[in-house]
Amino acid sequence: MARWVLHVDLDQFVAAVEVLRRPELRGRPVVVGGDGDPAKRGVVSTASYEARAYGVHSGLPLRTAVRRCPDAVFLPVDREAYEAASSEVMAALRELESVVEVIGWDEAFLAVDTADPESTARRIQARVRESTDLDCTVGIGQNKLQAKLATGFGKPAGVFRLTGRTWFDVLGDRPTDALWGIGPKTAKRLNEMGIGTVGRLAAADPRDLAARFGPATGPWLVRLAQGRDESPVVGTPYLARSRSRETTFQQDLDDWDEVRRELVLLARRVAGDVAAERRPASRVVVKVRYAPFITHTHGHALAAPTTEVEAIEQAALAALDRFTERRPVRLLGVRAEFVR
């Protein structure tokens, strides 16, 4: 017997839920986003594998998606349906008598003691399918990092094991942004240092990385590249880290007085979500997407954690004031981050 971490990731979750509700769509390209009208502005929330084959992916403008895949079925986002389906899946996982850490609608870690993690993974897949008719991929690792990355190699609906022994065989020659936690900006900075692969990052001197990224982040990047992760799987209830709202305007907003008015409306809606959570927010972040499709964000820390509407509204306006460009705006977003 050994302790293993399993990462369960539901395949094309949102699209799969929609196909369950509309079986006639099975096998067809399905795109979910906005109000489901590709003639209007909006972005793709998710796409079925059939749509992804045409280059449709999350974050893509709906108008671009319909040009790439004109035969796709476009559907509006139905948050309540996805939350209900997610609850069913997580309930099924908890029936397996393992520690379950939910990390989103469609993802969870499980800590299991077994001599045969692949059999356990297949049992999980069968249980999820029996309970919900949804497919999932299971990644197996000796820690959460390894399990999370293993899932990507098992999709769709497969099982893949990644351990310290196989880590560099699988990932050593891959770019650094293949790692969970490294995005394009960090990868670019690493490339500027001559560190372009996971293997090179794993062999880097932590002191050099500390000088460039800071005393905590630098060494952490090296540990990440070595496949090391000591964070435990915890079974405490999942709590969202933030609440957000955003609006895509069908016509660009040229008047920034109007931008401010729309921002206030969004901030008040977010404040209502925060109050419903009964958890104080500590920071507010504003997202502005300029025409045609350039996105920037700025944040503002609250003087004290709060659920008060006025304080969240004022913080959003303060964040908006940090945007110096007064170009036409196609999207506004407000996110309130909870105290951690």
The set of catalytic residues is 107
Residue 165, CA distances (Å) to 146, 168, 169, 220, 227 in order? 11, 8, 8, 20, 10
Residue 154 structure tokens? 């098992």
Question: Looking up tokens 């977003």, which residue turns up?
Answer: 333
Q: Name the residue among 143, 150, 213 with its Cα closest to residue 183.
A: 213
